[in-house]
Amino acid sequence: MRILVTGGAGFIGSYYVRTLVSGGYPAFAGARVTVLDRLTYAGNPANLEPVSDGYEFVHGDICDAELLAEVVPGHDVVVNFAAESHVDRSIDGAAAFVRTNVLGTQTLMQACLDAGVSKVVQVSTDEVYGSIESGSWDEEAPLRPRSPYSASKAGADLVAQAYGVTHGLPVSITRCGNNYGPHQFPEKLVPLFITRLMEGRKVPLYGDGGNIRDWVHVSDHCSGIQLVVERGAPGEIYHIAGTAELTNKELTGRLLEAFGCGWDMVAYVEDRKGHDRRYSLNDAKLRGLGYRPSIGFGDGLKHTIAWYVENREWWSPLLGAR
């Protein structure tokens, strides 16, 4: 068994690779793993150091068709984590998001088709649906992205689906809520707030703090992806829901409490343009395959905070890039 993981040096991709290589997914024990990553600001080789001898690394771009024509053949499974993913950055400049997320996905799907890959999983996001006032989206919900980032991910999903319908490429799509956990680049809310509080700096809270997100630990997300790799049907979409729906203000309160800080450490800032109010996924379909999240939000957040406290040498050099 040979597995290609694109974007495997990033936050979520590296967690998947570390688990895969260390035998955390028994059905794929002994698999040969290739990691392809462009190593942009959020791709960090240090994320893979614990399993440095267990995979082959290729430094490259999923938009590079010639490179993919060399790398993809011979792999049985391709899991695509490669993406530009920060909404704020997409608002400031959308071109890189369209290039990597849409063109990159198309280039990768073509390479998989040409190489006869037997299983492809496209890793996506709940943000492609826009905002939902109540209830939860199922996999048949219409795509209504409201940011350049989410629009580029919706485009990537549609490209992947088109390759399945038109060419019969065996591709499945996963969509997940907000991730948190170790090795997350400190521009996202949880590590941003943790590292700022560790430095005695105020944390920036958008608008009234009432935006609601569904939080899932990266371990549970990756377990859901692996379940789709092993049991997911081609052409199907699978939701991976979290264990806590919280307003940003509620999450901020938990982080303040963890550091013994008061609300004087919060700086309310102008709301983000087009800020989606609420995300929520129905994951009954994946649960039908046996998925169960195993990390409660309280424990997961506690362990995440501890990791950043104990690994300042990992995140401190990254602060200038956020």
Catalytic residue at 84?
A: no
CATH code of 138's domain: 3.40.50.720
Catalytic residue at 149?
A: yes
Co-location of 148 and 32 in the same domain: yes
Co-location of 151 and 249 in the same domain: no
Co-location of 196 and 317 in the same domain: yes
In 3D space, the residue among 183, 174, 261, 170 whose CA is nearest the CA of residue 217 turns out to be: 183
- Catalytic residue, from 37, 61, 126, 157: name it: 126
- Residue 322: the pLDDT is 47
Place of tokens 């260390």: 22
297: left (phi over 0), alpha (psi -120 to 50) or beta: alpha
Co-location of 190 and 232 in the same domain: no
In a domain, 287, yes or no: no
Co-location of 193 and 228 in the same domain: no
Question: How many C-beta neighbours within 10 Å does residue 297 have?
Answer: 19
Retrieve residue 112's tokens. Answer: 């998989």
Structural domain tally of the chain? Answer: 2
In degrees rounded to 5, what are phi and psi of residue 44? Answer: -130, 115
In 3D space, the residue among 293, 295, 219, 206 whose CA is nearest the CA of residue 252 turns out to be: 206
Retrieve residue 273's tokens. Answer: 């343009």
In 3D space, the residue among 68, 70, 15 whose CA is nearest the CA of residue 38 turns out to be: 68
In 3D space, the residue among 298, 292, 162 whose CA is nearest the CA of residue 224 turns out to be: 292
CB 140 within 8 A of CB 128: no
Co-location of 249 and 208 in the same domain: yes
Catalytic residue at 126?
A: yes
- Catalytic residue, from 84, 127, 245, 283: name it: 127
Give 3-state DSSP helix, strand, coil % of the chain, rounded to 5.
Answer: 45, 20, 35
Helix (H, G, I), strand (E, B) or coil at 231: helix
Q: Which residues of the chain have pLDDT under 50?
A: 322
Using a cut of 0.85, tell me whether the model's pTM lies above it.
yes
In a domain, 290, yes or no: no
Question: How many C-beta neighbours within 10 Å does residue 94 have?
Answer: 16
Co-location of 248 and 99 in the same domain: no
In a domain, 282, yes or no: no
Co-location of 83 and 190 in the same domain: no
In a domain, 289, yes or no: no
**Domain of residue 17, residue span:** 2-179+217-240
Co-location of 86 and 224 in the same domain: yes
CB 176 within 8 A of CB 240: yes
Co-location of 100 and 235 in the same domain: yes
In a domain, 126, yes or no: yes
- Residue 321: the pLDDT is 54
- Catalytic residue, from 15, 55, 129, 149: name it: 149
In a domain, 158, yes or no: yes
In a domain, 155, yes or no: yes
pLDDT per residue as tens digits for the range 70-102:
999 999 999 999 999 888 888 888 999 999 999
CATH code of 207's domain: 3.90.25.10
* End-to-end C-alpha distance for the chain, whole angstroms: 37
DSSP structure string for 88-140: HHHHH--HHHIIIIIIHHHHHHHHHHHHT-SEEEEEEEGGGG---SSS-B-TT
In a domain, 312, yes or no: yes
Distance, CA of 198 to CA of 308 (rounded, Å): 9
Co-location of 93 and 166 in the same domain: yes
CB 217 within 8 A of CB 300: yes
CB 75 within 8 A of CB 34: yes
Co-location of 134 and 208 in the same domain: no
Distance, CA of 68 to CA of 111 (rounded, Å): 6
